[in-house]
Amino acid sequence: MEKQPLAETAVNQIEKVFGRYPGYRRAHARGDIYEGVFAANGAASELTTAPHFQQGETRALVRFSHSSPDPTWTDIMSPVKGMAVQFHLPESAVANIVGVNSPIFVAKTPEVFTEMLTIMKSFKNGKPRIADLAQLVAKYPESRAGIDVLKKMHAPASFATGRYHAIHVFYFIDAHGNKRPVKYEWEPEAGVDTLSLAKAVSMPIEYYKADFEDRLAKGPVAFQLNIVLGEKEDPTDDPTQEWPADRKKLAIGRLLVTGKAESAETVIFDPTVATQGIECSEDRILNFRKEAYSISHDRRTKGM
């Protein structure tokens, strides 16, 4: 019998743990899509030839999401929120940056992630059992930091007040072919603000959507795009590790989210899709996501 590719096993496993919801993304199922404009300030033009990072404006599509694969979960059952940005480049090309409000991930490899899903059955109820977490950490010590971040995490008070990290490393390539490892983060201009427990408990369903649309009615919602510059000794293949806090950070542009997008539910925010001047790192989780997202896209657009 032919062996099932691991990405298919992973997506099947997500469905097994959280359920199958026809037409929805297999993770970050519930979310809202907006139009935006990204203005690059030119600070990255010495580091990359990517067209959207040369001084000037690029149209963007932005999807904010609640991380659960189950779209019936309330907003607050998913403290992890997503911000996926697709830059629309010349000649119908696109480049994506897909972030969440955590600087690190819980698994170093696709194999560990897929195995974790089997252990994480109790996540189905919104909160994992302590015993399940202890079992995970004992087996995969490198996952401790990511699990600790999740345990302590407070949801942002609004989609507009999260700091979103793309987690993985990418290489910027300049006009001479020099490569530099970078990590992306979106810094909210409204300031980082998280929800108190009291507010979280009383929050109505679709609070985030209503809040964001209230903000948009008053004007664009802004984020600054920063890159963190890696040094030689910094790991480039391990999403469970943060880089030292003193690494140089460079603001390379500003995104204005301006209004609702018509409908873009068929869009796929594949984090490996970039353009000239940007390359994916060797990180196996990053490269694995390409196939997993494609399987999810295929199923949901067929109404499965």
Residues 164-193 that bind ligand HEM (CB under 6 A): 166-167
Residues 284-303 that bind ligand HEM (CB under 6 A): 285, 288-289, 292-293, 296-297, 300
Quick one: tokens of 185? Answer: 């983060």
110 sits near ligand HEM (criterion: CB under 6 A): yes
**∠ Cα 225 178 229 (to 5°):** 35
Bridge partners (DSSP) listed for residue 249:
228
Cβ atoms 229, 172 nearer than 8 A: no
104 sits near ligand HEM (criterion: CB under 6 A): no
21 vs 211 by CB, closer to ligand HEM: 21
Q: Compute CA 301 distance to the chain's CA centroid, rounded to the nearest angstrom.
A: 21
277 sits near ligand HEM (criterion: CB under 6 A): no
Phi and psi at residue 94, in whole multiples of 5°?
-135, 160
In the set 51, 79, 99, 162, which binds ligand HEM (CB under 6 A)?
99
82 vs 253 by CB, closer to ligand HEM: 82
Please count the other Cβ atoms lying within 10 Å of the Cβ belonging to residue 139. Answer: 12
Residues 33-92 that bind ligand HEM (CB under 6 A): 63, 65, 82, 84
98 vs 169 by CB, closer to ligand HEM: 98
Picking from 209, 251, 256, the residue whose alpha carbon sits closest to that of residue 229 is 251
Q: How far is the CB of 220 from ligand HEM (least distance, A)?
A: 20
In the set 18, 30, 31, 123, which binds ligand HEM (CB under 6 A)?
31
65 vs 78 by CB, closer to ligand HEM: 65
Picking from 192, 53, 70, 64, the residue whose alpha carbon sits closest to that of residue 124 is 70
d(CA 115, CA 107): 10
43 vs 304 by CB, closer to ligand HEM: 304
147 sits near ligand HEM (criterion: CB under 6 A): no
Cβ atoms 66, 31 nearer than 8 A: yes
Please count the other Cβ atoms lying within 10 Å of the Cβ belonging to residue 188. Answer: 20
Q: Looking at 196-240, which runs of residues are DSSP E strands?
A: 221-229
Could you list the residues that contact ligand HEM (CB under 6 A)?
10-11, 25-28, 31, 63, 65, 82, 84, 98-100, 105, 110, 113, 166-167, 239, 268-269, 285, 288-289, 292-293, 296-297, 300
